[in-house]
Chains A and B, each alone.
Chain A
Amino acid sequence: MEVRDANAAMLSNYEVYQLLTDLKEKRKEMVKNKHSTGQQNLNTIMYETLKYLSKTPCAHQNPDTVKEFLTAMLPHKLTKAEKLQLFNHRPQTAVEIQLMVEESEERLTEEQIDELIQKVTDVLPGDPQKAGDVSADPEMETDQ
């Protein structure tokens, strides 16, 4: 076996999540044929990876999210690795942004960091269960 290119492309968690869910669907249909015992490794890794990824923000994303996010990130001049991390983690605080963006103190002002957090929260879908806790929502005040 030969490795031609060990780093041909970087994949976002969302792309891997999609790939694994599609593969799981295909394999469910194929279960009608005799189940090959040699596929235990594949089953294990698929199950564990899906379990891990379903708890990350990528489980709520869709293909349009990717396009919107990349367009929204254009004016900030971030490297591919930084954009990937923001996409995978959906940071909510300035501390997290500083971890993911190198030399953020020199490259981004406080307002730009807040703008980034705002864009990330708007463009990337969050956990629908936690969305109800957002206190800044003006609609909540009508309940009082």
Chain B
Amino acid sequence: MFVLVEMVDTVRIPPWSFHRQLNDAIAEELNKKLANKVVYNVGLCICLYDITKLEDSYIFPGDGASHTKVHFRYVVFHPFLDEILVGKIKGCSAEGVHVSLGFFDDIIIPPESLQQPTKFDEAEQVWMWEYETDEGAHDLYMDQGEEIRFRVVDEVFIDTSPSGPSAKKEGPSAAATAPPAGAEDSAQQKEAPYTLIGSVSEPGLGLLSWWNS
């Protein structure tokens, strides 16, 4: 689920923090910059693991702060392909089942990756698996708040850096499901920078209660 990512960055320490230990000040700055943020094509950054190398600090003319090039390792949430994860169902919609891990919310299981046959109950807005045994058909509902085991089949990174003032822009190539970005900036704000696509179409996957006898 988690990987270590080696990164290099220049950290700016303002003069009023000069009394602090350099390592602590740098660690705080790095966490301030990266914690709980998604780095494009890398994953969701959790926290600093360690600092591997500190290069010399420089002070540039016009700015009283020191600038230090830091080599460090960061703990990043980035499940590998086909990894099994357990999350909670956040809700169901026509697009599929939305799952959350608490610290990461943008996981979707599209309808074609649900156990077959599954139907969407419009009245209750919930997906249900029509499970047939010799005794008859059971309707297994995928209710909100239930724990669900799923496999990661795909990941989508969207570059959410602000676009320029130009109104028309082609949709990002990475996201197949994103609608072509029109003139509205508001449509872009709703796109999650990092989405996981899951699947529960194998035996053992789905609500934990289905498989615990």
Contact = CB atoms under 8 A, between A and B. Distances in A.
Interface stretch (A42-50, A111-119, A120-128): A42-50
B84 A89 contact: yes
A96 B210 CA distance: 13
Interface string A1-45: 111111111111101100110010000000000001011011011
Interface centre among A45, A48, A96 (most CB of B within 10 A): A45
Nearest to A17: B2
Interface of A: 1-13, 15-16, 19-20, 23, 36, 38-39, 41-42, 44-46, 48-49, 51-52, 56, 81, 85, 88-89, 93, 95-96, 98-100, 102
Given A4-B71, A6-B42, A13-B1, A19 B7 contact: no
B9 A2 contact: yes
A56 B208 CA distance: 13
A1, A46, A95, A98: which has the most chain B beta carbons within 10 Å?
A1
B184 to A, nearest CB: 27
Interface residues of B, number: 40
A55 to B, nearest CB: 9
Interface of B: 1-9, 28, 31-32, 35-37, 39, 41-42, 46-47, 49, 71, 73, 75, 78, 80, 82-84, 86, 101-103, 149, 151, 202-205, 211
Given A4-B8, A42-B35, A42-B36, A85 B84 contact: yes
Given A85-B83, A99-B151, A7 B32 contact: no
A36 B16 CA distance: 13
A56 B2 CA distance: 14
Contacts of B47: 19-20, 23, 42, 45-46
A57 to B, nearest CB: 11
A117 to B, nearest CB: 13
A93 B82 CA distance: 19
Given A8-B5, A41-B36, 12 more contacts: A1-B7, A8-B4, A11-B3, A19-B75, A23-B47, A41-B32, A42-B47, A46-B47, A48-B102, A48-B103, A81-B83, A99-B151
16 contacts: A2-B9, A3-B42, A4-B6, A6-B41, A7-B5, A10-B2, A10-B4, A11-B4, A16-B46, A19-B75, A38-B32, A45-B35, A51-B102, A52-B103, A95-B211, A99-B205
Q: Please list the 3 inter-chain residue pairs (A to B) with the smallest Cβ-Cβ separation, ordered nearest first.
A: A48-B103, A95-B204, A45-B36
Contacts of A99: 84, 149, 151, 202, 204-205
B7 A4 contact: yes
A118 B91 CA distance: 36
Contacts of A52: 101-103
A16 B2 contact: yes
